[in-house]
Structure 1
Amino acid sequence: MQNLTFVEKVLRAKCGSIVFKTPDIVLTHDNTVSIKNTFEKMGGHQVKNPDHLLVVLDHNAPPTNAKLATDYQKVRDLVQEQGIKKFYDAGSGICHQIMSYHAKSGMLIVGSDSHTCTAGAFNALAVGIDRTEAAGLWKRSETWFRVPESIKITLKGKLPEGVYAKDLSLWIIGMIGAAGANYMSIEYHGTGVKNLSISERMTLANLASEMGAKNAVFPPDKVLEDFYGQKIKGVWADEGARYFKEYEISLNDLVPLLAVPHQVDNVKAISEINSVKVNQGLIGTCTNGRLDDLEIASKIVDGKQLAGGFQLLIAPASKDIYLEAIEKGIITKLMKAGATILGASCGPCLGTGQGIPADGFTVISTANRNFLGRMGNKTAQIYLASPATVACSALTGEITDPRIDASRQIKFPFQKQQISTILIQESDNRKSNGVWDYSDIDHLNTDQMFAGNLTYEVLSSDPEGIRPYLFKGFDDSFADGVEEGDILIAGENFGCGSSREHPAVGLAHAGVRAVIVKSVNRIFYRSAINQGLLLIVNRKIVDSYQKNDVLRLDFQEGVVQIGEKRFEIPALPDKLQQIIKCKGLVNWVRTEI
């Protein structure tokens, strides 16, 4: 094979192929308890390759109630019983930062978290999977990969003063959209790459999931060698490799940006936002909790005081970063200005720990998602920005440009028609003839399908416990009204957001016969297969359906019929069909081995 992309080289197959591979690292975090339950349902007793496992307790660290504390102890017991050496207890840090201790060039890394792609900063192929698939890897050590098409992004120049990697990430997301890289691999090329630190590369790789990508990756260059402190061989694309799309970005031309509620791709220049008052800020998480992020913020607030009533939360990405920030006086500067320092954990980002905003609060955050209800309160408004923008806004109490000279005021040039976040009223019955019609809704995310703050209260291994909360974030009638044999129809980028498999588990358990969408987020697609939930991607079917139509589905024949219209469904690869027929990966693994 010649002229291969990075992902084709690592997976040793051409684009479009489906291959089975054994990953070098399988990452899990607080969801390890749920994975253990599923592993046992699969008939698992001893993990096949414990040396491949990396387990980090971070999403609820430290635990906020007795149930979570008990779950944490179950994980500690598990790693002892299974001989898992790569274990990091609560307080060690966020799993994607901890990964920086283990990721190496050319590795194949999977993790039961959508932001596993962060490790692409280390020239690794790092992709998110769900909990059921992680359990399958514990049992049989390999899983399937579809070799994706690739996007080439060429960076030139250097980021101007006051503009950061987060702004570049938002620029790209706003340019291509929340589904613009769906199921694709993103490669960063060009002379501008050498001007990006490993920390900045981690921010960019982390946010690849917010444009639907399977992964993002940087080259094995001198910056990476300096990080490792040694020469590396690495893996990189061939000259002349074929790409689905190519983009070129001049870093010199960028300005500070925001993602405006409630979509990550709803991007605007700060100069387009007029006097937006903010009540709370968050600097940290896996996206922007590294030492340079905290240092940038500390320099801005040094010797000053936060605006009256403003709450600024700081969440370092790891204990090591926290300690170094203390030694350098960074934490002192932040605290003297009025900031509150949290432990090295994920909690505020998804609303599972400290830092849940009050009703009606407007939050400016360095985290990676601003979906409705993402931080634990669906009456809050969340803006995403760089640490510098958050720090400056904390001082003024309104969204503020971090540049000393902010004379260059432009509109973000890639404005798209934004999709409003829909909340379906009780009187709006979306079900007719066994079909739930959400065809007018694009970007239905997993936070709306199953609230993030319930993720560890109700385990994905408890399908009966999931069902009462299904879709409560946008259609309160669904959980009570869904019946066995129902079909669900929706628009673009269905299931975007977290790798949270609860929605797929709940829909499969409720007996939903099929989900038919215009396009689907990559991890949700895998989750659907893993739960034996038939997911059909066909925009013609969605566009043809009208409320009260009778829709007939024959999976064996591969046909969907709406009235007189007949649509053929392409057959899945044999092993994936077997998983569907077995009603999920748990049953397939249990019978296959």
Structure 2
Amino acid sequence: MSGKTFVEKIFDAPQGAIVFKKPDIVLSHDNTAAIEKIFRKMGGSALKDRNQLMVVLDHNAPPTNAKLANDYQQIRTFAYKQRVKCFHDVGNGICHQVMAEYAKPGMCIVGSDSHTCTAGAFNAFAAGIDRTEAAGLWKQGETWFRVPETLKITLNGMLPQGVFAKDVALYIIGMIGAAGADYMSVEYHGDGVKNLSIADRMTIANLASEMGAKNAVFPYDEVLAKHLNEECEGVWADKDAIYAREITLQLDELFPVVACPHHVDNIKSVDEVAGTEVQQALIGTCTNGRIEDLREAAAILKGQIVPDGFQLLITPASKEIYRQANKEGLIDIFMEAGASVLAASCGPCLGTGQGIPADDVTVISTANRNFLGRMGNKNASIYLASPATVALSAIHGRILSPMSKKNHKFSYEKKKTPTVEIKKGDQRRINGVWAYQDADNLNTDQMFAGSLTYEINSSEPDKIAPYLFRDFDQSFAASVHEGDIMVCGANFGCGSSREHPSVGLRYVGVKAILVKSVSRIFFRSAVNQGLPIIVLPEAVEAYQKGDVVNVNFKEGKVMVGNNEFVFTPLPDKLMEILNKGGLVKTLSEIDIKNQKI
């Protein structure tokens, strides 16, 4: 009998199994206001376990308009009335940094944010969910998990000077692609792990969602034990565990890299893009806003001044980090260099707060996403890099490498992610089928702009519908009909955990979505909304323009033209959610039945 992987031990089940488990922590942030509304629709009143909840106000902190301010007030009232102990108000920090105060080895953590996986740095299982599922957890305390296959990444050696954890994470994404770890657990092994600080591990774990992973995890070792300053019983894979894939990386052979516009897997060495002019820079966010990151940036910015008109933004990841940076004199260094130091917030990264770039501006950022429109303007371009690369580039107004040795080239040849542009008049709907099979990595920002996430509540599908796919296919919202089917490419629904797209698609009556592969969080969100996602790459590849597509859910069959394809239906409990029109209706019915009893 073979050994077990980390997740097989966490869930006490083999890979592929569907299990139900009560998470130790259920995280939410500004979307808590929307979650409460869904919770009420489910018939919820009192929390099943208030000690599960962790609520952090961070995505629009401080609120940028009256609606958001009212949402914040609603959340404060809810947290007070429900006696939520782990409530962090505006200014305390970004939720994934605050989580560092709570995450422990062996925990099961879920959060209504795709970068919840950051907590894997603490030897915890940590994964993102959507708002509806979070509401369901508030009511019943547990949820379903599919035990994923595991990708083992072995890190050997030590990083050379000028190369950082951000480079490691981006390098791996460049190797395997944005969908390279779809629905997988990622384990980090090797002697190189001991040379990575907790801050490094948080950065690497944070970017697991950008390679499609369910979670990423580091071992409980002497580095983590020293950080926690307490004895814990960690969980780790057996030596004879079976992995779906294994990768080995020599840290001492790495060099600075960037993710070029407009995809996080569009990786090149910094040397390859050196000299590219930039007009704005962002240092911070949940990916690289820790004190170690700010120290690295300050060491480069000290005594320097950014060019006239250049916008340099600094966002420490928490109040404590901000105070420490101030104590060490880093804030003075930043301000003397011409930077604007902002409160701990997700706004600049998401495009909902300060720092939205102007048209035709090129940004270099330490954040985790560079989708078109990610920072609030689809007419801007974003490069992702380490704090050192960003700081050096900010000083010179052009991208430069912090490594003394030059002329590196990122040589991994993989399928390039095409930027599919659907121009006005390009009708993709034929015979009730929306043909998007050429658009791999169709992300949630393209389906529903991040800047609208907190303007329109996910519990208001009628308001979502007019904005569906607006930044991708402007004809969709006006032309979609009830009963339509979508045929889509690989890694469908990647990006943010926002559930607006699945809510909207269910509302307008989309019958089913056929995909080559799907983002894990989007798949869960679709199930929770009663929107069928069918993974059938061969059916997608067989589709020809004008083919009639029919889906028979009962028999598990799809007809594409004259070709028949078979798929395996979901387990009974999940099919029940789909058949009843989503998790809200399912749990509402359960509540009604219990009241009758």
Which category describes the TM-score, using the shorter chain as reference length?
over 0.9
1:194-236, Cα deviation, whole Å (9 max, x unpaired): 0000000000000000000000000000000111112221111
Name the residue aligned to 1:326.
326
Name the residue aligned to 2:535.
537
Name the residue aligned to 2:316.
316
Shift of 1:423: 2.4
Tell me if 1:202 matches 2:234.
no
Tell me if 1:369 matches 2:369.
yes
Tell me if 1:298 matches 2:298.
yes
Contact 1:174 1:415 in 2 (8 A): no
Q: Secondary structure at the match of 2:506?
A: helix
Contact 1:501 1:524 in 2 (8 A): yes
Contact 2:543 2:561 in 1 (8 A): no
Alignment of 1:79-158 (within 5 A): 79-158=79-158
- Alpha-carbon separation, structure 1, partners of 2:198 and 2:47: 33
Identity of aligned residues (%): 61
Shift of 1:275: 1.7
Tell me if 1:341 matches 2:341.
yes
1:107-137, Cα deviation, whole Å (9 max, x unpaired): 0000000000000000000000000000000
- Alpha-carbon separation, structure 2, partners of 1:276 and 1:432: 42
Contact 1:116 1:206 in 2 (8 A): yes
Tell me if 1:260 matches 2:260.
yes
Shift of 1:54: 0.1
Alignment of 1:227-306 (within 5 A): 227-306=227-306
Match of 2:526 among 515, 528, 542: 528
Shift of 1:422: 2.0
Could you tell me which amino acid in structure 2 is paired with residue 91 of structure 1?
G
Shift of 1:346: 0.4
Q: Secondary structure at the match of 1:236?
A: coil
- Alpha-carbon separation, structure 1, partners of 2:151 and 2:418: 28
Name the residue aligned to 1:504.
502
Match of 2:459 among 430, 451, 461: 461
Shift of 1:274: 4.1
1:455-474, Cα deviation, whole Å (9 max, x unpaired): 00001111111001000111
Shift of 1:535: 0.6
Could you tell me which amino acid in structure 2 is paired with residue 406 of structure 1?
K
- Alpha-carbon separation, structure 1, partners of 2:175 and 2:332: 38
Contact 1:160 1:252 in 2 (8 A): yes
Name the residue aligned to 2:193.
193
1:465-504, Cα deviation, whole Å (9 max, x unpaired): 1001000111001011111101111111000000011100
1:246-274, Cα deviation, whole Å (9 max, x unpaired): 11111000000000000000000011114
Name the residue aligned to 1:183.
183
Name the residue aligned to 1:434.
432
1:279-302, Cα deviation, whole Å (9 max, x unpaired): 000000000000010111111010
Could you tell me which amino acid in structure 2 is paired with residue 509 of structure 1?
Y
Contact 2:420 2:438 in 1 (8 A): no
- Structure 1 residues 265-274 or 173-182, which shifts more? 265-274
Could you tell me which amino acid in structure 2 is paired with residue 521 of structure 1?
S
Name the residue aligned to 1:75.
75
- Alpha-carbon separation, structure 1, partners of 2:418 and 2:179: 16
Name the residue aligned to 2:595.
none
Contact 2:274 2:400 in 1 (8 A): no
Q: Secondary structure at the match of 1:134?
A: helix
Contact 2:453 2:498 in 1 (8 A): yes
Name the residue aligned to 2:588.
590
Shift of 1:406: 2.6
Could you tell me which amino acid in structure 1 is paired with residue 34 of structure 2?
S
- Alpha-carbon separation, structure 1, partners of 2:383 and 2:167: 13
Q: Secondary structure at the match of 1:191?
A: coil
Tell me if 1:579 matches 2:574.
no
- Alpha-carbon separation, structure 2, partners of 1:233 and 1:425: 56
- Structure 1 residues 212-221 or 222-231, which shifts more? 222-231
Shift of 1:559: 1.5
1:496-555, Cα deviation, whole Å (9 max, x unpaired): 000011100000011100011100000000011000001100011111111111112221
Name the residue aligned to 1:45.
45
Q: Secondary structure at the match of 1:459?
A: coil
Shift of 1:2: 5.2
- Structure 1 residues 28-37 or 305-314, which shifts more? 305-314
Shift of 1:569: 2.1
Contact 1:308 1:397 in 2 (8 A): no
- Alpha-carbon separation, structure 1, partners of 2:300 and 2:284: 16
- Structure 1 residues 304-313 or 208-217, which shifts more? 304-313
Contact 1:117 1:214 in 2 (8 A): yes
Shift of 1:591: 1.5
- Alpha-carbon separation, structure 2, partners of 1:109 and 1:199: 19
- Alpha-carbon separation, structure 2, partners of 1:72 and 1:425: 39
Name the residue aligned to 2:405.
406
Name the residue aligned to 1:7.
7
Q: Secondary structure at the match of 2:192?
A: helix
Tell me if 1:483 matches 2:481.
yes
- Alpha-carbon separation, structure 2, partners of 1:495 and 1:118: 20
Which runs of no fewer than 5 residues in structure 1 stay unpaired? none
Tell me if 1:214 matches 2:214.
yes
Contact 1:267 1:415 in 2 (8 A): no
- Alpha-carbon separation, structure 2, partners of 1:262 and 1:399: 16
Which runs of no fewer than 5 residues in structure 2 stay unpaired? 592-597
Could you tell me which amino acid in structure 2 is paired with residue 192 of structure 1?
G
